[in-house]
């Protein structure tokens, strides 16, 4: 029965049906074949899948990114070109670092990809980056929004498994930054090989350097204000997204005066269209994940893996492979809720820390967020750049392999994630 679910999904994707409809159709076919429950469960689960207050940050960050294009983004790009203009792949490195920074604000991989992708993606393409690599890099770095604290997924894991959320926040810092560093390294290597260099900003005088820096100060304050407010507890990530929209509008309309009244409708329409497409994919992923849960797919895979070896490290690596597989088909938080309570007792009996497992699990699922077929972050970046997922190959493979190497280091060296926790006596 479960074979019909995956077969329908693969066939639908192969013949070119949009991903959101493909996921929904596969769920409908499964329910029609099984005869129970009724098809109305799909609409119920779709509503529950997007009925989330933190998810409101997604359209708001998309909107702020669109507004930033009127004055703020060009000034930030000039600053990036000035600093990194002579570095191969410098603008891509700035994009990856920006994803890490905004990931610490939103706590969502999709919101991070949308926010940074809307700002950096078009600029990278203008500077000669291939759309395939740009979309892949933004998807991989953006997906790390769930790894770099504060993270919504860490809250979900800590609640589901009774693990200290504060310890998880500390444990996620080094693995998140390590993975970002690996992606920046990939960007530099490909930048040298493919000749990715920034246009302009390389032959400025000292006075021109100062002007560019001062001109970019106000846009640079936005992430500082937002991150400071979130970490100090003044406002939530969703409220931070609303503040980002207000601040971007203030700069564009009143400081730089590049945003006109006639532009507002087009900006809102474009943001709404992009948000609707992404949210529809996330909504249809909810009943798909629910069907997998009712059919005990995660549990069946777990039992099968545990029967393959008696070596703790081998079993741990097999569990990571299981999570990587599930992460390519299921929404991140749903996967955590469904599998963490099942897998955690097995992992702790093998002698591994629940905190270490939580970080490895979340990093693993972040990789899944950039890996087809259900790569929500990749679909987000592809939508921004107006290309299909198929167009990102083989660049998305380079990104996924690079992130997987970082994951392997985190898995095999627990102190990478536990160092700060132990150092601070937690």
Which residue pairs from 236-239 have beta carbons closer than 8 angstroms and sit at least 24 positions apart in sequence? 236/53, 236/54, 237/54, 237/57, 237/105, 237/106, 237/107, 237/108, 237/111, 237/150, 237/152, 238/53, 238/54, 238/56, 238/57, 238/60
| pLDDT band at 227; cut points 50, 70, 90 | low
46 within domain boundaries: no
Please give the pLDDT value at position 106.
Answer: 56
Q: What is the sign of the dihedral through the CA atoms of 282, 287, 292 and 296?
A: positive
CB 114 within 8 A of CB 58: yes
Average pLDDT over residues 261-286: 85
Residue 23 belongs to domain spanning: 1-38
Alpha carbon separation from 118 to 7, 41, 78, 345 (Å, rounded):
34, 34, 17, 41
Asked whether 102 and 223 are in contact (CB, 8 A), the reply is yes
pLDDT tens digits, 358-396: 999 999 999 988 888 778 899 889 999 999 988 998 999
- pLDDT on residue 378: 92
- Do 137 and 187 lie in a common domain? yes
Query: 83 with 20, same domain?
Result: no
Taking alpha carbons only, the member of 107, 19, 106 closest to residue 65 is 106
The answer on 106 and 20 residing in a single domain is no
Cis peptide before 254 (omega within 30 of 0): no
Q: Is the pLDDT of residue 200 over 60?
A: no
Asked whether 69 and 75 are in contact (CB, 8 A), the reply is no
Kindly indicate the confidence band of residue 401, based on its pLDDT and cuts at 50, 70 and 90: very high
Q: Is the same domain home to 33 and 60?
A: no
| Exposure letters 323-356 (e unless 16+ CB within 10 A, then b) | bbbbbbbbbbbbbbbbbbeebbebbeeeebbbbb
Cβ atoms within 10 Å, residue 169: 19
Q: Are residues 258 and 398 in the same domain?
A: yes
Let me know if residue 13 belongs to a domain. Answer: yes
Same structural domain for residues 29 and 138?
A: no
Average pLDDT of span 407-422:
93
Is residue 27 domain-shared with residue 81, that is, in the same domain?
A: no
Does residue 263 sit in helix, strand or coil?
helix
What's the confidence (pLDDT) of residue 96? 86
Same domain, 17 and 113: no
Same domain, 148 and 15: no
Asked whether residue 241 is domain-assigned, the answer is: yes
Number of domains comprising the chain: 2
For the chain, how are helix, strand and coil distributed in percent, rounded to 5?
A: 80, 0, 20
Q: Identify whether 82 is part of a domain.
A: yes
- Asked if residue 43 is part of any domain, the answer here is no
Question: Which of 128-137, 173-182, 239-248, 297-306 is predicted least confidently?
Answer: 297-306
Contact 402, 140 (CB under 8 A): yes
Tokens of 235: 């406002």
| Residue 47 domain flag | no
pTM, rounded to two decimals: 0.71
CB 109 within 8 A of CB 143: yes
pLDDT category at 201 given cuts 50, 70, 90 is: very low
Task: Determine contact, residues 421/171, Cβ cutoff 8 Å.
Answer: yes
Q: How far is residue 50's CA from residue 331's CA, in Å, rounded to a whole number? A: 11
Q: Assess whether 133 and 28 both reside in one domain.
A: no
Domain membership of residue 44 (yes or no) is: no
Residue 202 reports pLDDT greater than 80: no
Do 70 and 21 share a domain, yes or no? no
Can you tell me the mean pLDDT for 313-318? 90
Do 19 and 163 lie in one domain? The reply is no
Whether residue 332 lies inside any domain: the answer is yes
What is the rounded distance in angstroms from the CA atom of residue 246 to the CA atom of residue 104?
A: 20
């Amino acid at each position: 029965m479960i074979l019909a679910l995956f077969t329908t999904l693969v066939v639908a994707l192969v013949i070119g049906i949009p991903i959101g409809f493909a996921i929904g159709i596969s769920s409908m076919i499964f329910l029609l074949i099984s005869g129970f429950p009724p098809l109305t469960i799909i609409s119920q689960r779709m509503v529950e899948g997007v009925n989330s207050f933190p998810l409101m940050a997604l359209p708001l960050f998309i909107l702020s990114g669109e507004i930033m294009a009127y004055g703020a983004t060009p000034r930030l790009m000039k600053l990036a070109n000035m600093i990194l203009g002579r570095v191969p792949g410098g603008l891509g490195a700035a994009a990856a670092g920006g994803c890490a920074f905004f990931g610490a604000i939103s706590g969502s991989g999709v919101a991070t990809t949308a926010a940074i992708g809307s700002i950096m993606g078009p600029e990278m393409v203008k500077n000669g980056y291939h759309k395939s690599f740009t979309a892949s890099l933004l998807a991989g770095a953006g997906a790390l929004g769930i790894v770099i604290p504060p993270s919504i997924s860490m809250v979900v894991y800590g609640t589901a498994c009774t693990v200290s959320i504060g310890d998880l926040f500390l444990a996620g810092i080094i693995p998140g930054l390590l993975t970002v560093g690996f992606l920046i390294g990939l960007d530099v290597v490909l930048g040298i090989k493919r000749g990715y260099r920034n246009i302009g900003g390389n032959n400025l005088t000292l006075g021109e350097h100062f002007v560019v820096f001062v001109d970019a100060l106000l846009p640079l304050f936005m992430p500082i204000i937002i991150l400071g407010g979130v970490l100090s507890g003044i406002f939530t990530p969703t409220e931070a997204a609303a503040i980002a929209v207000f601040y971007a509008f203030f700069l564009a309309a009143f400081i730089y005066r590049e945003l006109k009244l006639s532009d507002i409708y087009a900006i809102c329409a474009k943001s709404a269209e992009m948000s609707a497409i992404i949210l529809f994919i996330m909504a249809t992923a909810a009943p798909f994940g629910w069907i997998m849960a009712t059919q005990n797919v995660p549990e069946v895979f777990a039992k099968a893996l545990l029967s393959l070896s008696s070596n703790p490290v081998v079993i741990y690596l097999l569990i990571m492979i299981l999570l990587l597989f599930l992460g390519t088909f299921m929404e991140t938080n749903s996967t955590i809720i469904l599998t963490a309570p099942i897998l955690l007792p097995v992992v702790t009996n093998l002698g591994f820390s629940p905190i270490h497992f939580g970080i490895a699990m979340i990093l693993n699922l972040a990789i899944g967020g950039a890996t087809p077929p259900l790569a929500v972050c990749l679909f987000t970046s592809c939508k921004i750049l107006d290309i299909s997922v198929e167009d990102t190959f083989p660049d998305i493979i380079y990104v996924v392999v690079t992130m997987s190497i970082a994951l392997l280091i985190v898995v095999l060296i627990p102190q990478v994630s536990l160092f700060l926790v132990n150092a601070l006596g937690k």
